[in-house]
Amino acid sequence: MYTRGLKGVVAVETRISSVDGENGVLRYRGKTIEEVVHGGTFESVAAFLWGVEKEDVEFSLREGRQLGTARIDFLRQVPREVSLMDQVRTVMSTLGTPTFLQKSLAEQAMLLTGAIPVITAAAYRMTKGRAPVAPDPELPYVANYLYMITGKKPTETSAKALETYLITTMEHGMNASTFAARVTVSSESDLPSGLVSALGTMKGPLHGGAPSGVLALLDEIQEVGSVEAVIQKKLETGERIMGFGHRVYKTEDPRSLVLRYACERLGAEEAWLALAVKAEAEIIRLLDQYKPGRRLYTNVEYYAAAIMKSIDMSPELFTPTFSVARTVGWTAHMVEQLKENMIFRPESVYIED
């Protein structure tokens, strides 16, 4: 039976996460995202998803930061007009050396996750004409990422806000990039190759680019001074309202609730956050009016944009940072795929011209 986009088709069994779209519940290995975020750190939640000890994760993530000079020198040779995502994807592909591939799959997963923020931050700084910042071995994963981007040690508040975002976006079932990663390694390719496939998928605006669109939307609302005027015009001309609606969730995205609370705790950029909260309620009302029965609610990108704005994260870094988080989920899925592997080989229906 032909199903366009494989919608509703079950392709794998997994123990990693579950997404209940009807009831708005996301679980990591049986725990709700609210339970996971409460008291969790990036390192502890990654360990939980990978099924390894937190101490091993902390050690290997730090080891993964040590890229040496060759890859940074390689980045210096990349033309500056090459997009940030393309730079990250290209350099990550160089990690699959024979020595690296001799390591256990669990260790490879941790090392790849340790490397991607270093490469992302270095590429970003060089596109701005700045020197890369070496990782600080004393800083935890998220704080070190911010430090490598800005060259300054972040405040505890900013690091915690970003950490909450990274935890909520680590994993989300059989999305496009995760499926791409699993398909690649199902051919008995390696984890770096699967990661490159996932990064290529994440680059697409239907998957990894939405937070930037939310910023543009809120900027327009702020400039016009009316939520209703901006949203009505977009709905009447058939434009998509960025940050609302999700292919799976038929109620509010549970990750958006977690991030809304994080925004409230953050307390920075109060006027911006107040605008986001006010606009959310009005947009949902208008969506219900113009698209009755569609059940379009806030998704994770809406408050992700507010978090990023509040910590002064450049919009260029939104999708790469999403990818830094999702590397945990991608690698967990690839390891799971290889444990009971069968190559993906769907059928197609030929159509006469």
| Catalytic residue numbers, as ranges | 246, 301
3-state secondary structure of 10: coil
Take residue 309 and report the two structure tokens written for it. 């704005």
Rounded Cα distance between 116 and 111, Å, is: 9
Give the containing element (helix H, strand E) for 20: strand 17-20
Residue 203 DSSP label? T
The per-residue DSSP string of 67-126 comes to --SHHHHHHHTS-TTS-HHHHHHHHHGGG--HHHHTS-HHHHHHHHHHHHHHHHHHHHHH
The per-residue DSSP string of 127-194 comes to HTT-------TTS-HHHHHHHHHHSSPPPHHHHHHHHHHHHHTS--SS-HHHHHHHHHHHTT--HHHH
Separation in Å, CA 333 to CA 66, 106, 137, 162, 341? 25, 11, 28, 23, 11
C-beta neighbour count of 133 within 10 angstroms? 17
3-state secondary structure of 34: helix
Rounded to 5 degrees, what are φ and ψ at 29?
A: 45, 45
C-beta neighbour count of 30 within 10 angstroms? 9
Rounded Cα distance between 84 and 125, Å, is: 10
